[in-house]
Amino acid sequence: MKTKIICTIGPKSDSAKTLSGLIRKKTDALRINLSHTPPERAIKLIEDIRALSKKIPIIIDTQGKETRMMAPFGKTAILKRREHISIIPFGSSMQSKSLWITRPEFIAAIPRGEKISIDDNRIVLKVLGRKKDPSPRLECVIVRGGEMSVPKNIRLEKKIEPKTMLTDADRLVIKKALPYGISEISLSYVSAAKDVEEVRRFIGKKNILISSKIETRRAINNLDSLIAASDTILIDRNDLGTEIGYEKIPFVQKLITKQCVKERKPIFVATHLLENMLHKDKPTRGEVNDIINLVLDGVNGLILSSETAVGKNPVKILGTLRKIVSEAEVVLAIQQKNNSTGVIERLNELNYI
C-alpha cells in the first residue's frame, strides 16, 4: 500500500516556485487550512495551484464548529493587562488593537460583562459592550495579557453553540472553489454524523470527499457514526492532545486506526510529524520512529501541517517524509508476506540492514 502524503500550504509554501517544487516531489494533494488563511487568499491560492496543475487534488480544511480568535496573519498581537481591544468579524479590515473571531454571529450573542478565555485561560478578556459603527464589534478590556500569533480556541462562561457546521468563510471559499475542482473537504471540530450530512447538503451532488477530523472527546464518543457517515477519517493530534492529554494520544490513535483499517475506511494522521524540521535540517529519531509506526499500523496517509506551511524548507521536508515512509513500506510489505520469524532473514536478502 502506498502511503499518501499531503502538504499544507502557508506563508513558506504559497509561492509558485515552492508549489511547483511540492508538485514535482509528488505530494499527493495540497491542503488549504481556512483557520489560517483568509477567504480572499484561499481563493487566490486555489487559482495559483490550478495554473500550475489541473490534476493535483486540492483539500479545503474548514474552520468548522470551534470558535477561534486570532491576530492578523503573519503578525503577533501583544495584549497588555487593562488595555482595551476590539473583537471584529474574521476577514474584515483590521483596526488598531483588534482581533478576528471566526464566528461573527458571536459578536451579537456574547453579553456585556462576559469573560472570554483564550487558549485555555492563558489570555482573558472582559466584554465592555458592543458597537456597530464602522462595523459590528465587541469592545473588551484585557484582564490577563499575553501574546497571540496563531488562531486560538476560546471558551465562554455562557455556553453558546454554533448553529451550523460551516462558518461564513467556509461557505464562501467552498462555493467559489467548486468550479476549480476541489477533491475533499475536511471538517474541523465535527462532533456527529449530522454535521457531515449538513455539509453534503451544502455541496450538493458533487464528487467531493468529506473527511471528519477527530480532535474532540465528542468526536471520539461518536466515532462509529462518523466513520459510517464520512469518506475518510483524520486524526488531528494537536487539538486532540489538548482535549484529552498528549500522553493518551498514542493509544487512542492506535485504537482509531485499528477500527478504520478493520472497516476499510481511509485513515489519515496530521500534526507533529516533522516539527524538528521547522527550523532544522533533520528530523529527530523520535519523529522517525513515530512515522514508521504510523505506516506499520496501517494509516493511509500523513498530513504535513506547520512543517510545510511555515517550515524553512517545505520541499525538503516533503522529501524527508517520503524517504521515511518508503522505508516503512518496505518493512510493511515484508511483514505482510512473512511471519515475524522470517523478517530479519528477508531484510538481509534485500540488503536492507
For the stretch 309-345, pLDDT in tens is 999 999 999 999 999 999 999 878 777 776 555 667 7
How confident is the model at residue 112, as a pLDDT?
Answer: 93
Q: How sure is the predictor about 300, in pLDDT bands with cuts at 50, 70 and 90? A: very high
137: helix, strand or coil: strand
Shared-domain flag, residues 177 and 273: yes
- CATH, residue 251: 3.20.20.60
Shared-domain flag, residues 107 and 147: yes
CA–CA dist 266, 269 (Å, integer): 10
Domain containing 83 equals 68-156
Residue 235 and residue 268 in contact, taking contact as beta carbons nearer than 8 Å:
yes
- Domain count of the chain? 2
- Quick one: how many helices (H) and strands (E) in the chain? 13, 17
The contacts of residue 161 (CB under 8 Å, 6+ apart) are none
Residue 317 and residue 304 in contact, taking contact as beta carbons nearer than 8 Å:
yes
Shared-domain flag, residues 108 and 251: no
How confident is the model at residue 162, as a pLDDT?
Answer: 85
Shared-domain flag, residues 50 and 114: no
The model's pTM: 0.87
End-to-end Cα, the chain, rounded Å: 22
> Beta strand 184-187 with 58-61: parallel, antiparallel or unpaired?
parallel
What's the chain's length in residues? 353
pLDDT > 80? residue 75: no
The contacts of residue 93 (CB under 8 Å, 6+ apart) are 135
Question: How deeply is 209 buried, as exposed, middle or buried, from its count of CB atoms within 10 A (0-12, 13-18, 19+)?
Answer: middle
The three cell numbers locating residue 341: 520469524
Shared-domain flag, residues 171 and 285: yes
Shared-domain flag, residues 20 and 100: no
How confident is the model at residue 217, as a pLDDT?
Answer: 92
pLDDT > 70? residue 190: yes
Shared-domain flag, residues 263 and 180: yes
Shared-domain flag, residues 201 and 336: yes
Shared-domain flag, residues 39 and 175: yes
Residue 63 and residue 31 in contact, taking contact as beta carbons nearer than 8 Å:
no
Instruction: Out of 156, 174, 190, pick the residue that ends a domain.
Output: 156
The mean predicted confidence, pLDDT, of the chain is: 91
- Angle in degrees, 0-180, between the axes of helices 249-262 and 237-244, rounded to the nearest 10: 120
How confident is the model at residue 174, as a pLDDT?
Answer: 97
Shared-domain flag, residues 338 and 239: yes
Instruction: Out of 128, 156, 184, pick the residue that ends a domain.
Output: 156
How confident is the model at residue 77, as a pLDDT?
Answer: 86
Q: For CA atoms 106, 107, 108, 112, give the dihedral sign.
A: positive
For the stretch 213-271, pLDDT in tens is 999 999 999 999 999 999 999 999 988 988 899 999 999 999 999 999 999 999 999 99
Residue 37 and residue 120 in contact, taking contact as beta carbons nearer than 8 Å:
no
Shared-domain flag, residues 39 and 52: yes
For the stretch 79-134, pLDDT in tens is 999 999 999 988 787 767 889 998 888 998 899 999 999 987 899 999 999 988 77
With cell 518493512, the residue in question is: 331
Shared-domain flag, residues 87 and 60: no
What mean pLDDT is predicted for residues 183-189? 96
Q: For CA atoms 212, 214, 215, 216, give the dihedral sign.
A: positive
How confident is the model at residue 43, as a pLDDT?
Answer: 96
Backbone angles phi, psi at 191, to 5 degrees: -125, -20
- CATH, residue 106: 2.40.33.10
Q: How far from 39 is each of 9, 34, 44, 126, 166, CA to CA, in Å?
A: 14, 7, 9, 28, 13
Cis peptide before 314 (omega within 30 of 0): no
Instruction: Out of 132, 156, 180, pick the residue that ends a domain.
Output: 156
With cell 461573527, the residue in question is: 104
pLDDT > 80? residue 290: yes
